[in-house]
Amino acid sequence: ALRGHELVRTDHEIARTWEELDGVLELKAFGSAPDARVLGVRVSSWSPNAEARLAALRPELEAAVERLARA
């Protein structure tokens, strides 16, 4: 689950708080060429056990980015 609230939204990015990780999730899209896009995901956390929790979530995050890239 991703509980939190939106911090910022632009045409190319969104940043949300992520309560479960005591952190922030950022999703960004960059145009590298007229017909190509680059997707970026960044997670920042202030939780002392965030590294282990993120490692467990990594497959889900990677799958979500793959789905987004195909959309």
Please check whether residue 12 is in contact with residue 29, taking contact to mean a CB–CB distance below 8 angstroms. yes
Domain count, the chain: 1
Joined together, the tokens standing for residue 71 give 């959309």
pLDDT, tens digit, for every residue of 29-49?
A: 887 777 777 888 899 999 998
In a domain, 23, yes or no: yes
In a domain, 55, yes or no: yes
Give me the domain span that covers residue 11.
6-70
Which helix (DSSP H) or strand (DSSP E) does residue 28 occupy?
Answer: strand 23-33
Joined together, the tokens standing for residue 69 give 């890239």
pTM of the model: 0.78
Instruction: Output the pLDDT for position 68.
Output: 78
Eight-state DSSP code of residue 12:
S
Please check whether residue 40 is in contact with residue 27, taking contact to mean a CB–CB distance below 8 angstroms. yes
In a domain, 65, yes or no: yes
> The tokens 């952190």 sit on which residue?
23
Q: Which residues of the chain have pLDDT under 50?
A: none
In a domain, 1, yes or no: no
In a domain, 34, yes or no: yes
In a domain, 16, yes or no: yes
